[in-house]
């Protein structure tokens, strides 16, 4: 996820300022920015209010990140599709 690149860096907003506006700890903001913490539906609502975009778009970005991460860590070659009659 590129919250830092899209919202923080261009507008010179720091993690502390974002944390204050989201009413969460700076460590949670840092985890989200660094891709180590996920965006929950509650966080998506907060991000939507503070940074814009719809909550759905924040959750979609999280889903896309999670799927990308899963693809990096799984070998699907061992799986076969079931045959339905």
Mean pLDDT of 61-81: 93
- Give dist(CA 6, CA 4) in Å, integer: 6
The confidence band for 1, taking pLDDT boundaries of 50, 70 and 90, is very low
The whole model's pTM is what? 0.81
What pLDDT score does 2 carry? 76
| Domain 3-57 = CATH 3.30.470.20 | no
DSSP string, 28-44: HHHHHHTTSS---HHHH
Calculate ∠ Cα 75-35-2, nearest 5°.
Answer: 110
HSE-CB of 81 using CA atoms within 13 angstroms: 3
pLDDT digits (tens, 9 = 90+) for 14-65: 899 999 999 999 999 999 998 889 999 999 999 999 999 999 999 999 999 8
Q: How far apart are CA 19 and CA 73, in angstroms?
A: 31
Tell me the domain boundaries of the chain.
3-57
């Amino acid at each position: 996820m590129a919250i830092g690149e899209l919202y923080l860096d261009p507008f010179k907003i720091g993690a502390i300022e974002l944390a204050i506006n989201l009413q969460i700890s700076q460590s949670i903001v840092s985890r989200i920015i660094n891709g180590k913490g996920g965006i929950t539906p509650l966080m998506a609502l907060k991000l939507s209010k503070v940074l814009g975009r719809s909550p759905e778009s924040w959750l979609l970005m999280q889903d896309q990140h999670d799927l990308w991460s899963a693809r990096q860590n799984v070998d699907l070659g061992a799986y076969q599709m079931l045959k339905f009659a």
